[in-house]
């Protein structure tokens, strides 16, 4: 059937695209948490492979067997596990991502991580594997890391055109946080603020200095990799304009080139030949757009802060030693306190889009010693954490304790990469 022959009520409508975000509005103060770590072979220090008797695939089988997880499959390949609302999934270079059901309290995120780790870490020990908390593989470069046998990853690897896209896909590991919003106005205010905060947070948690066994000269090589992945779908999804709304975000996505769609369980490669807007107008090779196509397209858009039915804040290196919980605590203390939001806006809104955008590039190399208006950003970072600290202390069941590891580092003027 030709797209033009569809009846009006069968077309994918613009309002359906907007609805995906409108339905996200909820009265909630939960925190989502996604935690990527790099699996390393203890004996060699190299990244653990997917295949083989002691590879990650067999490890997933053993976890599922011992702790009653269900398989997540791509064709015939095991690419992850799920149990209720928690998942263990694999990134393109076999990085292991733990995605926790959103929780109201940081301590419940901590308990869930500890519970899952109590199962998987002893099994990893038997496999001769350990998980490391680094933003980039310190020993193995992408040329020696096979791409996970997941069909979408092969398509993405061929499409993403940045000079460090292979590094991003196969070598890096990060931590992502999800924040709820109660209305469109609340969503866009938090979205704008999260984008302003992002370079400072990247600096505070920078933890990817070593790559391939050498000092790269960058505090966050992971951040550098994202800056050199695909400028059409990475970076900022806003210019911090006042009055931005869901429609503005939808229009950005509509004008972003598509990578692929799925039909009957198989990917159909589009390879950037048209935007989603063009797909809605005329279809593609006999295929007509569906809401699932839209959800996939939105999921293949990788800004540092992404709008979903929550706000996903993405650009933090993987860290450990308690710092992993400082990340959700930091955002909870700011985003769920109206007074904290106002304070941070007063601190950061004086800076222009160009200033914040330029800072992103300096952060990758210098982290906390990067300069904004000729002044190192360390003091701004301290102010941001202080705002989050007092917000958590006074209004959130004393969860400021989760900021202590970060506060101690900032007192020394250091990020994890400096240690």
Spatial separation of the C-alpha atoms in residues 315 and 409, rounded to whole Å: 19
Spatial separation of the C-alpha atoms in residues 294 and 280, rounded to whole Å: 10
Predicted local distance difference test score (pLDDT) of residue 198: 97
Location of structure tokens 């222009």: 352
- CB atoms closer than 10 angstroms to residue 409: 23
Location of structure tokens 């993403």: 160
For the stretch 169-194, pLDDT in tens is 999 999 999 999 999 999 999 999 99
Q: For residue 131, give the nearest of 89, 99, 171, 95 by alpha carbon.
A: 95
Is 118 contained in some domain? no
Is 2 contained in some domain? no
Q: 363: domain CATH number?
A: 3.30.590.20
Is 35 contained in some domain? no
Is 84 contained in some domain? no
Predicted local distance difference test score (pLDDT) of residue 4: 44
Predicted local distance difference test score (pLDDT) of residue 10: 62
Is 3 contained in some domain? no
Q: Integer distance in angstroms from the first to the last C-alpha of the chain?
A: 61
Domain that holds residue 333: 10-30+149-418
Is 25 contained in some domain? yes
Quote the number of domains for the chain: 1
Which residues of the chain fall below pLDDT 70? 1-10
Sequence-ordered list of residues with C-beta below 8 angstroms from that of 284, at least 6 positions apart, any chain: 261, 268, 270, 273, 274
Spatial separation of the C-alpha atoms in residues 240 and 260, rounded to whole Å: 30
Q: At what angle do helices 338-348 and 378-395 cross, to 10 degrees?
A: 170
CB 173 within 8 A of CB 315: no
Is 49 contained in some domain? no
């Amino acid at each position: 059937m030709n797209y033009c022959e569809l009846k009006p009520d069968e077309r994918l409508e613009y309002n359906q695209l907007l609805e995906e975000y409108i339905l996200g509005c909820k009265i909630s103060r939960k925190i989502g948490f996604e935690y990527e770590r790099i699996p390393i072979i203890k004996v060699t220090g190299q990244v653990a492979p997917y295949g083989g008797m002691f590879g990650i695939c067999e490890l997933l089988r053993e976890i599922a067997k011992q702790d009653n997880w269900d398989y997540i499959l791509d064709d015939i390949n095991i690419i992850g596990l799920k149990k209720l609302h928690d998942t263990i999934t694999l990134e393109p270079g076999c990085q292991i991502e733990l995605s926790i059901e959103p929780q109201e309290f940081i301590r419940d995120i901590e308990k869930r991580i500890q519970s899952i780790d109590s199962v998987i870490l002893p099994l990893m020990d038997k496999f001769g594997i350990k998980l490391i908390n680094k933003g980039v593989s310190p020993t193995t470069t992408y040329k020696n890391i096979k791409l996970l046998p997941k069909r979408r990853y092969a398509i993405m690897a061929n499409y993403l055109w940045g000079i460090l896209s292979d590094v991003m896909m196969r070598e890096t590991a990060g931590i992502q946080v999800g924040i709820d919003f109660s209305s469109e106005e609340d969503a866009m205010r938090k979205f704008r603020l999260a984008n302003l905060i992002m370079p400072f947070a990247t600096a505070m948690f920078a933890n990817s200095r070593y790559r391939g066994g050498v000092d790269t000269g960058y505090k966050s090589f992971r951040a550098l990799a994202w800056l050199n992945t695909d400028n059409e779908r990475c970076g900022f999804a806003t210019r911090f304009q006042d009055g931005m709304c869901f429609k503005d975000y939808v229009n950005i996505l509509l004008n972003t080139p598509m990578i692929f769609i799925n039909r009957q369980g198989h990917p159909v490669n589009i390879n950037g030949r048209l935007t989603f807007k063009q797909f809605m107008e005329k279809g593609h090779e006999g295929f007509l757009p569906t809401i699932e196509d839209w959800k996939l397209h939105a999921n293949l858009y990788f800004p540092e802060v992404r709008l979903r039915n929550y706000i996903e804040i993405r650009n933090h290196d993987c860290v450990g030693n308690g710092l992993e919980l400082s990340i959700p605590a930091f955002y909870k203390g700011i985003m769920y306190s109206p007074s904290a939001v106002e304070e941070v806006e007063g601190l950061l809104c004086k800076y222009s889009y160009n200033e914040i955008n330029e800072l992103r590039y300096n952060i990758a190399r210098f982290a906390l010693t990067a300069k904004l208006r000729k002044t190192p950003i360390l003091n701004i970072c301290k102010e941001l954490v202080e705002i989050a600290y007092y917000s958590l202390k006074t209004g959130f069941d004393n969860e400021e304790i989760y900021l202590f590891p970060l506060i101690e580092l900032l007192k020394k003027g250091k990020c994890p990469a400096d240690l």
